[in-house]
Structure 1
Amino acid sequence: MLYEGVLRKMQTENGSPIQYFLVFEHDFLNMNQALDKTVQIDFIKYQCLNCGEERPIYRQGFCKSCFYETPAAGDWIMKPELSTAHLDKEDRDLEYEKKVQLQPHIVYLANSSNVKVGVTRKTQVPTRWIDQGAHEAIEIVEVPNRYLAGITEVALKEHVSDKTSWQKMLTNRIEDVNLVEWRNKLKSSIPDEATDYFIESNGETHLEFPVLQYPEKVKSLNLDKTPSYTGVLKGIKGQYLIFEDSTVFNIRGNEGYYVGISIL
């Protein structure tokens, strides 16, 4: 069976295990059904997620010009503390920025390779944790806009990491920790503007990924260097496909690549 289209991050449904879907313009593929089967990935062309043109992908699935123009790639995406829509101040497109920034946001702790702090829109829970390959997570605060979430994250980064080791996450060299204790320990470090939004009484969320076999080491598939790859799919975690030969393929890291995927 051949599926063809431009890569976007896999859509997910939380379950036991999590279900993963590659969604193309005219078709979709439940990747869980490809586990233990031979999968072939062929790079065909680039296709910018914003303009749709066949241009080399620069970052985040966008060609270079779109990356510096589209509001979906503003600096506040990666650095929520730079959000300004609550001040009625435009970065690239105020209407878009108000739509995204002026809605409830969660500051959370997630454990994928280690305990890390992060920010996401409330509507993206638990999707954001799944995308990061976190096997456990917990909300710390729920605030009404992205700016408050951003300054809270900046404050908490003084005490806990905001990075994930993707290699450690994919080899499953992880340990369970008590995130409730971590949440309570960090309470005193929350900025004054966000203290009223602290969540007192929630528990951890645990996530189960569809992985049959974890690799000892990982080697990342680069479609620019290896435009055709074939391997037996052994797992899916975060936004990565894990193959029997220890090759891993980051779907989100290859957004904007138009590919053919065959289940052999």
Structure 2
Amino acid sequence: MTQHQGTLRKMHTAADEDNLVHYTLPVGDELVAMNPLIGQKIVLSFEGQIACVHCGSKTKKSFNQGYCYRCLISLAQCDTCIIKPELCHYHQGTCREPQWGEAHCLTDHFVYLANTGTLKVGITRHVTDGISSRWMDQGATQALVMLRVKDRLTSGLVETAFKQHIADKTNWRTMLKGAPAEQDLHASMQALLKEIAPQLEQLSAQQGLQAIQPVEHSGHAIHYPVQHYPDKIKSINLDKTPAFEGELVGIKGQYWLLDGDRVINIRKYAGYKVTLSV
């Protein structure tokens, strides 16, 4: 039996040439390749300690997927505008960390369409010719970049216009029920852009003529290492069930899929000290 012990972080993702997602799990100072563990029995035990993913201090309760309360109320990356970018307030001079805001918010963002079981709109900073880690974290099986915008605030305003016609959240239960039917993302994009054309025109007038630009993007199909999807999802909560074992039958998004239709959101437990045994 091989053991790994330390604090958890969200799984790292990378897609190979066939667009199959490969997962690596940080456990303390170790990086554990997860794809080779699919089909094997694993045991995960929570050791009762939680450390903030930012400052490292011990905390009895984790907030916002890994932060202590002090970091939650002081870091720009934990502000409400990270979840709701249309509320970005850097231009008002009230950003918690202006330098962080300049590096992360005053840069190009991309508005995308994704299939996560149902179609959704979203934003990401990192899209080149590859697959955004955000798509893989959300368990998207298809993704298409629609627009490039000048900053985070503008991306949020554009996303808000789209949200009148399409969801902006991933239904994790739907995402884990199986491989969804393939969608014609280009046709959906054209229909959505037509619907919100007046709002985009108004935003361009407010934010600048070059603030919102269409993107030529062929789209991506994304595949996940899953042997079996759950028939009836049973979610594991480490706070209530501090140890579990079973066969790892797949990984999708940031979720482990285990035998017995059990699933666990690994990202939720960032900062938890655990022992992983294989």
Q: State the TM-score, normalized to the length of structure 1.
A: 0.94
1:68-83 equivalences in 2 (<5 Å): 68-83=73-88
Equivalent pairs counted in the alignment come to 262
Work out whether residues 90 and 97 of structure 1, in 8 Å CA contact, stay in contact via their aligned partners in 2: no
Residue 152 of structure 1 corresponds to which residue in structure 2? 158
Q: Deviations over 1:63-92 (max 9, x none)?
A: 22221112220111101111233x262321
Q: What amino acid maps onto 2:33 in structure 1?
A: N
**Residue aligned with 1:22, SS:** strand
Identity of aligned residues (%): 33
Q: What amino acid maps onto 2:88 in structure 1?
A: S
Quote the offset at 1:253 in angstroms. 1.4
1:225-240 equivalences in 2 (<5 Å): 225-240=240-255
Quote the offset at 1:213 in angstroms. 0.8
Residue 46 of structure 1 corresponds to which residue in structure 2? 50
**Residue aligned with 1:68, SS:** helix
List alignment gaps of at least 5 residues for structure 2.
none
1:49-128 equivalences in 2 (<5 Å): 49-55=53-59, 56-85=61-90, 87=91, 89-123=93-127, 125-128=131-134
Residue 6 of structure 2 corresponds to which residue in structure 1? 5
Give RMSD over aligned pairs.
1.7
Quote the offset at 1:117 in angstroms. 0.5
Which of 154, 158, 174 pairs up with 1:168?
Answer: 174
Quote the offset at 1:143 in angstroms. 1.1
Quote the offset at 1:24 in angstroms. 3.3
Q: Deviations over 1:96-151 (max 9, x none)?
A: 11110011111111101200011111359521000000000101101121111110
Which of 236, 239, 249 pairs up with 1:221?
Answer: 236
**Residue aligned with 2:10, SS:** coil
List alignment gaps of at least 5 residues for structure 1.
none
2: CA distance, partners of 1:24 / 1:40: 14
Q: What amino acid maps onto 2:214 in structure 1?
A: I
Q: State the TM-score, normalized to the length of structure 2.
A: 0.89
